[in-house]
Amino acid sequence: MDHYVTGAAIRMLREKRGMTQADLARELCVSDKAVSKWENGRGFPDISLLEPLACSLHISVPELLSGRAVVNVNRASNLLKSRLYMCPVCGNVVFSKGDAVISCCGIQLPALEAEEPDEEHSVQVKRVEDEYYVAAAHEMTKRHFLSFFAYVTMDRFEMKALYPEGSAEARFFIRGGGWLYYACNRHGLYRVKLGR
């Protein structure tokens, strides 16, 4: 039962919505005693109730199972506050304008945290007329490679997919100051400031 909803999560999410146990029970067509048992750890909601329970608490089922609501606080859609998610199984990259609940290949993906590059993961960025030319000396084997370069400004997100046995380079039309993100399949996400 490592990945099942806990009573503490139900109580916290119910109280956050300003609902009583009776209110929640009425919405789910169960007794308030059943809700009390769930919250006190003396029982679990039936699996058939997970979706209606999540709906009543205004969250997704994965959020219910994790015990926390994920709220995108980036209401202004400033892309510099974007989040990137990458599946460790298939390599799928998902871009979101803020925090989100993302899953791929049956795994809930954590948002990647960008680090400053070390020597092995350094990139060269050259300004060539109205473009940034980005290149890395990183190995590009099937076991160890860079999977993408992404240029992010306040209002644009542009990504260039990279592939094993290909070259680790990209060109981006200069659109002002921003960040260059890139990911190593073994070591994670890196970022470098571009422009201003």
- Note whether 61 and 101 are same-domain residues: no
Question: Which two three-digit tokens encode residue 40?
Answer: 């006190």
Domain interval for residue 169: 79-194
Residues 6+ apart with CB under 8 A from 18: none
Q: How much is the mean pLDDT over the chain?
A: 85
* Same domain flag for 112 and 168: yes
pLDDT at 171: 96
The answer to whether residues 26 and 47 belong to one domain is yes
Q: Are residues 86 and 139 in the same domain?
A: yes
pTM exceeds 0.75, yes or no: no
Please tell me the distance from the alpha carbon of residue 183 to that of residue 160, in angstroms, as a whole number: 11
Kindly state the percentage of the chain with pLDDT values over 90. Answer: 38
pLDDT in tens, 69-85: 655 454 555 677 788 88
Contact call for residues 93 and 147 (beta carbons, < 8 A): yes
Distance set, CA 51 to CA 14, 26, 38, 145 (Å):
15, 15, 16, 39
- Cβ contact 155:149 at 8 Å: no
pLDDT in tens, 87-135: 888 888 998 887 777 888 878 788 888 899 999 999 999 999 999 999 9
In-domain check, residue 187: yes
Q: Are residues 43 and 99 in the same domain?
A: no
Q: Give me the pLDDT at residue 135, please.
A: 96
pLDDT of residue 78: 64
Question: Do both 94 and 190 map to the same domain?
Answer: yes
